[in-house]
Structure 1
Amino acid sequence: MSGDELRLWAAARADELPGTTVDQPFGPEVDVYRVRERMFMAMSSTGRTSVTLKSAPEDAKALRETFEAIVPGYHMNKRHWITLQADGTLEQDLVEELVTEAYRLVVAKLPRAQRPVDPDLFLSASRADPDRP
């Protein structure tokens, strides 16, 4: 997987998620994906392409131990964020699943009235039916 593929996979999945917006508060080289103004993903297009995602601390640790291409979140809280590097070893399904989980973690912290989906049902539905976001 090239850097372009990593960006394409992550962006395509994020764009499918309800209530997602994209902005560039850090400049044109970083796309920030948010749900209700809360960031769940950032993608860098300068230098070595990378995707930084929100992650549960225990999942982040396990992912870093399992995949060389997953490192602590670049310029983020290392416990709650991971960075995916484009080294050719990550599969599209994994990238899409990690984007979905980052989104779900942020949605779960929103006040109930602001949630575009129920985070518990959303996760189980997306795993049960691969054609659903």
Structure 2
Amino acid sequence: MNIEELREYCLQKPGATEGLPFGEDTLVFKVGEKIFLLTSLVTGNRFNAKCDPERAIELREQFEEITPGFHMNKKHWNTVFMDGRLTRKQLNEQIDHSYELILRSLPKKVQEEIGQ
């Protein structure tokens, strides 16, 4: 998966938006004004995604391409490398999980506005 494919996949999510709130180097995806994924436009080979803490530990033990979130709360965020060792399905699962965690954390009214 490359940066453009990542961007397209994230923006297919209902209510997803993109922006550069931390400067021109970091692309951020949000749902309901909450971040569900960040990626560097400089390196472009990895992204940070929210993850259930127990699942995060399991994934980090199972895949060397999934590490504690770089510059993030390492309990709740993973850095996922997109260098070809993880399948597209596995990458999409990390994105989907992050999106769903953030979506479920939003107020019910906001979830309804998004159509969930």
Q: TM-score of the superposition, structure 2-length normalised?
A: 0.90
2:43 is matched with 47
2:27 is paired with a residue whose SS is: strand
Taking the TM superposition and a 5 Å limit, the aligned residue runs for 1:4-43 are 5-43=1-39
Q: TM-score of the superposition, structure 1-length normalised?
A: 0.79
CA separation in 1, counterparts of 2:115 and 2:87? 26
Q: CA RMSD in A?
A: 1.4
Unmatched tracts of structure 2, length 5 or more: none
Per the TM alignment, residue 19 of structure 1 is displaced from its structure 2 partner at its CA by 0.3
- The percentage of aligned residue pairs carrying the same residue is 33
CA separation in 1, counterparts of 2:85 and 2:43? 19
Alignment length, in residue pairs? 114
Deviations 1:66-88 (A, max 9, x none): 11111000100001000012332
Amino acid across the alignment from 1:89: R
1:110 is matched with 106
- Indicate conservation of the 8 Å contact 1:57/1:80, yes or no: yes
- Indicate conservation of the 8 Å contact 2:45/2:83, yes or no: no
